[in-house]
Structure 1
Amino acid sequence: MTDQPISKLGLSADEVLTTTRSVRKRLDLTRPVPRRTLVECIEIAHQSPTGSNSQRWRWMIIEDADKRRAIADIYRTNFEAAYVGADAPEPGSQADRVNQSARHLAAHLHEVPVHVIPLLADRMDEGTPSWRQASRWGGVLPAVWSFMLALRERGLGSAWTSLHLQNERDVAELLGIPYDEYSQAGLFPVAYTIGTDFKLAKRPPAEEFIRWNEWS
Structure 2
Amino acid sequence: MSDVLPLGPDELLTTTRSVRKRLDLGRDVPLEVVRESLEVALQAPSGSNQQGWHWLVVTDPEKRAAIGEYYRQAFTAYRNSGAYPTTKPTGDTDRDATQGRVADSAQYLADRMGEVPVLVIGALQASAELPAANQSGMWGSLLPAAWSLQLALRARGLGSAWTTLHLQYEKEISALLGVPDDVRQGVLLPVAYYTGDTFKPAKRQPLDTVLHVDGW
* TM-score, reference length from structure 1: 0.91
Pair 1:14-2:10 in alignment? yes
Output the CA distance in 2 between the equivalents of 1:172 and 1:93: 37
Output the CA distance in 1 between the equivalents of 2:215 and 2:111: 46
Question: What is the Cα deviation at residue 135 of structure 1?
Answer: 1.5
The one-letter amino acid paired with 1:65 is P
Structure 2 contact 128–182 (Cα < 8 Å) conserved: no
The one-letter amino acid paired with 2:31 is R
Partner of 1:161: 163
- 1:86-131: CA deviations, max 9, x gaps? 485669711110010000001111110000001111136454321x
Question: What is the Cα deviation at residue 209 of structure 1?
Answer: 0.7
Distance 1:85 1:52, change over 3 A: closer
Output the CA distance in 2 between the equivalents of 1:121 and 1:85: 31
Q: Secondary structure at the match of 2:187?
A: coil
Pair 1:197-2:211 in alignment? no
Aligned counterpart for 1:172 among listed residues 171, 174, 183:
174
Output the CA distance in 2 between the equivalents of 1:210 and 1:195: 34
Pair 1:30-2:31 in alignment? no
Aligned counterpart for 2:150 among listed residues 148, 173, 176:
148
Structure 1 contact 33–114 (Cα < 8 Å) conserved: yes
Partner of 2:99: 95
Q: Secondary structure at the match of 2:142?
A: helix
> What are the residue-to-residue correspondences of 1:45-194 with 2, within 5 Å?
45-84=41-80, 86=82, 88=87, 93-123=97-127, 125=129, 127-130=131-134, 133-178=135-180, 180-194=181-195
Structure 2 contact 23–192 (Cα < 8 Å) conserved: yes
* TM-score, reference length from structure 2: 0.91
Output the CA distance in 1 between the equivalents of 2:129 and 2:203: 35
Question: What is the Cα deviation at residue 196 of structure 1?
Answer: 2.5
The one-letter amino acid paired with 1:207 is D
Structure 1 contact 89–96 (Cα < 8 Å) conserved: no
The one-letter amino acid paired with 1:39 is R
Structure 2 stretches lacking a partner, 5+ long? none
Q: C-alpha root-mean-square deviation of aligned residues, in Å?
A: 1.7
